[in-house]
Amino acid sequence: MTLDDTQQDGRTRRRSRLVKTSAATATVALVAAVVAAMAFASSTVAIDSASNSTLGEHVLVNSQGRTLYVLSPETTHHLLCKSAECLKFWPPLTVSSTKEKIKLGSGVHGKVGWFKRSGGTLQVTLNGLPLYRFAEDKASGEVNGQNFKGFGGVWHVLGDSGKPSSTALPSTNAPASSESTSTTTTSTSTSTSSSGSGGYGY
């Protein structure tokens, strides 16, 4: 092999390494950009208002359009929905960290916040009231949990004023019968009585 061939071979190898390094750098940059975009997209929890034809009023919904509820007379200092059974049917609206933003949609009134449940979950509040979804609401616009009695109180949707609504459901959408409600309440009462109070803070 001549000197020229050796030099040419060396230049070829250097170009090949340069191309591979550039490609690797571009890939890392792309992955970083995607991760950053995903983090930005998930850094905000929205509470919006939507017209509900079943109740004939505007109700508060989450980012996916699912109806939001509160349990009366629950507050962050007097938590009623603590058992695994309650949380199964009424999943809390949560944020992943204290830095995550909570955005109120147009027409929604009230003061948002969060508190830490005993398990460490950060649950969103509006006007000091913990917010939940209802597992039996299978699609946007459903309000099957309205005026449901169970787990130590009565569940209500929230109007865009930020206050609970007591508007009655049409008879075809009425909550569970009083017999099943009584059974649920009794079961929950037993579960919550054995639960620790945990620590809550804003």
Closest alpha carbon to 128 in 181, 75, 183, 195: 75
Which of these, 129, 58, 55, lies nearest to 92 by C-alpha position? Answer: 129
- Both tokens of 11, joined, read 């230049």
Q: Rounded to two decimals, what is the model's pTM?
A: 0.66
Query: What pLDDT tens digit does each residue of the chain (202 aa) get?
Result: 665 555 666 666 666 665 565 555 555 455 455 444 444 444 789 999 999 999 999 999 999 999 999 999 999 999 999 999 999 999 999 999 999 999 999 889 999 999 999 989 999 999 999 999 999 999 999 999 999 999 999 999 999 899 999 999 987 665 654 344 444 443 433 333 333 334 334 3
Collect all residues with Cβ–Cβ distance below 8 Å to 71 and sequence separation of at least 6: 80, 81, 90, 130, 132, 151, 152, 153, 154, 155
Rounded to the nearest 5°, which phi and psi values hold at 90?
-130, 80
Task: Give residue 82's pLDDT.
Answer: 95
Instruction: Output the pLDDT for position 44.
Output: 83
Q: For residue 28, with 0-12 CB atoms within 10 Å meaning exposed, 13-18 middle and 19 or more buried, which class applies?
A: exposed
